[in-house]
Homo-oligomer: A and B are copies of this chain.
Amino acid sequence: MSVLVVGSIALDTIETPTDRREEIIGGSATHFSIAASYFGNVLLVGVVGDDFPEEGFTLFREHGVQTDGLQQMAGKTFRWTGRYHEDPNKRDTLNTELNVFEQFSPEIPESYQSADLLFLANIHPSLQMEVLAQVGDPDLVITDTMNLWIDTAREELDRVISRSDILIVNDEEVKQLTENPSLYQASRQLLDRGPEYIIAKKGEHGAMMVSENDLFFAPGFPVEDVVDPTGAGDSFAGGIVGYLDQVGEFSAGTLRRAIVHGSTLASFDVEAFGVERLHTLSDAAINQRFERFREMTAF
């Protein structure tokens, strides 16, 4: 099986209270792809500029991520600069330069058409719709979004949501989409808008999965030293969708284990800047942390 992902590839400049990295490889599609690569076969669609460093291409290659759909355009790669507070749940965006991303129009290569799973990372809903128009009929469409699109592109976003099987959103976005302060009730409301499953990300509090007949909670992993939270949500999604691709069958039970794999990958992601930690994982390390989740929740 295979996973098609469309999202951003960026050069991130990240400041934390104690450290800083300049123009490291980032973006939603990057964090997703590297995380998913530990389980599934990842087909990447995105855009970079002519300044994208060779190490970026090498990174994808080393993780077996297919880059036939990775466009390289004249101009500069998308850049993002952010600063994290002492409380790593809080950050300020200092600068965003769309650069080549401004002209990005996703093109799905012929060779990607048969992908079983489609992950629409957090990009403008009109781009997500363009992707949906180009793919055949994937088994599952999994969608991420952000508050910006809820505020500015609500109609297109609602169309994307209505086409999604699984919606992965953070708790604030669930409440924003429904204007309901109860995360559980709000998530159930979203089931009426198309998706069969809502996965609500609750940051350090983990995740909740809601469907018509199922309800599941996974805790957040207590990371000893959160270095850089950038991309945690994308690597969470990468773990989920990659695991579904690896297992090759879909059920509520599979999705539960997929979510814990997502939490596992996200917990590694934040332990170092960018994808530094994700890049160097072993299957043994992943399995060991997955088992820690069992220990942390058994009673």
Contact = CB atoms under 8 A, between A and B. Distances in A.
A96 to B, nearest CB: 26
Interface string A165-202: 00000000000000001111100000000000000001
Contacts of A224: 185
How many copies of the chain does the oligomer comprise? 2
Contacts of A216: 296-297, 299
Given A183-B204, A185-B224, A205-B202, A217 B296 contact: yes
A86 interface: yes
A272 interface: no
Nearest to A204: B183
A219 B295 CA distance: 14
Of A219, A253, A260, A298, chain B has the most CB atoms within 10 Å of the CB of: A219
Interface in A206-232: 206, 208, 215-219, 222, 224, 226
Contact of A182 (B215, B219, B226): B226
A159 interface: no
A100 to B, nearest CB: 37
Contacts of A184: 222
Interface of A: 86-89, 181-185, 202, 204-206, 208, 215-219, 222, 224, 226, 253, 256-257, 259-260, 293-299
29 contacts: A86-B181, A87-B181, A88-B181, A89-B181, A182-B204, A182-B222, A182-B226, A185-B222, A202-B205, A206-B217, A206-B219, A208-B219, A208-B222, A215-B222, A216-B296, A216-B297, A216-B299, A217-B219, A217-B297, A218-B297, A218-B299, A219-B219, A253-B299, A256-B299, A257-B299, A259-B299, A260-B299, A297-B297, A297-B299
Given A88-B181, A206-B219, A297-B299, 11 more contacts: A182-B204, A182-B222, A182-B226, A183-B204, A205-B206, A208-B222, A215-B296, A216-B297, A216-B299, A219-B219, A256-B298
